[in-house]
Amino acid sequence: MIVVVAPGQGSQSPAFLEPWTADPEQRAYLETLSAASGIDLVAHGTTSDADTIRDTAVAQPLIVAAGLLTARALFSRVDRSLVAGVAGHSVGEFTAAAVAGVLDDEDAVRLVAERGRAMADAAALVETGMSAVLGGDADELAAALERHGLTAANHNGGGQVVVAGELASLAALAAEPPAKARVVPLQVAGAFHTRFMAPAVERLRSAAAGVTTHDPSLRLWTNHDGTEVGSGSRFVELLVGQVSSPVRWDATMESFAAAGVTGIVELAPAGALTGLAKRALRGVPSVAVKTPDDLQAAVDLIEGAA
């Protein structure tokens, strides 16, 4: 049982789409997504620098477009029906929604572009950010977060929690971390999945109201609590709400384990979720599809499980 997973913000890097755009068909598809999103995704995926693609309004549609580009290439080589299900981390849930057929590709990037703009505007109101906390005692971390006015925004499993809040508070936590814990600042421009993003929720809800949804054609898990969602309209409601609520990727991986998942394929820009899976789902093989050269390994994993 193979599941496809889509990463979230912070997974992008300069020129990561360059190997994909060498294929004229893939480049043309990315240009179609650019037109839908109103953003030059070809340029941002090939020539823009790290600071430019760190901008939330750019990063979010770029990451979703990259996942859709990868999925399209993957399913041109292997029968989509051989994949058991799909899930995405944070903004990767828009990728997952399109892969599962809840949204069409152009609606997914159009909607996520509005999400990115709304979250960028919300982030501009107060200087906030996010940091990964690796290791340490959970109770001690909870006490430190309360002391500094921070929030656990992403429960990623594998001993990793991403915390969010004002930059001064994040710096204070890094200066005095819980015992045996390491605090690593993330390349994101805001306290996503917290109360600081509340202004973005209504904007995304308004944009989502005009989008046609379909029930998923693949098993689809939500970050909200790790459960499967069988209704397309319900999944989009959860997409709207997750802007200001925590990501429970730990619960999603627990659901994978309970469902009997035997392998994971991560769409571009890949690496973060397969890394978490290696720690939380020990023994489950995974493939991170970073470039077209990784597609054959993904096909082999999917066909080998059939």
Per-residue buried b or exposed e for 105-125, using 16+ beta carbons within 10 Å of the residue's own CB? bebbbbbbbbbbbbbbebbee
Burial 12-23 (b: 16+ CB within 10 A, else e): bebebbebbbee
Question: Do residues 7 and 269 touch, judged by C-beta distance below 8 A?
Answer: yes
**Of 234, 139, 132, nearest to 178 (Cα)?**
139
Residue type, 279: R
For residue 247, give the DSSP letter: B
Choosing from 90, 131, 244, 255, which is the catalytic residue?
90
Cβ–Cβ under 8 Å, residues 263 and 300: no
Q: For residues 281 and 136, what is the distance between their CA atoms, to the nearest angstrom?
A: 20
Q: Measuring CA to CA, which residue among 51, 60, 44, 57 is closest to residue 11?
A: 60
Q: Is 69 exposed, middle or buried (0-12, 13-18, 19+ CB in 10 A)?
A: buried
User: What tokens appear for 4 in the block?
Assistant: 């496809």
244 catalytic? Reply is no
φ, ψ of residue 87 to 5 degrees: the values are -155, 155
- Of the residues 44, 89, 148, 193, only one is catalytic, namely 193
The dihedral over CA atoms of 56, 57, 60, 65, expressed in degrees to the nearest 10, equals -150
Contacts of 81 (CB under 8 A, 6+ apart): none
**Is the Cβ–Cβ distance between 169 and 261 less than 8 Å?**
no
90 as an active site residue: the answer is yes
Q: Do strands 286-288 and 2-6 pair parallel, antiparallel, or not at all (unpaired)?
A: unpaired
Whole-number Å distance between alpha carbons of 80 and 247: 27
- Active site amino acids: 90, 193
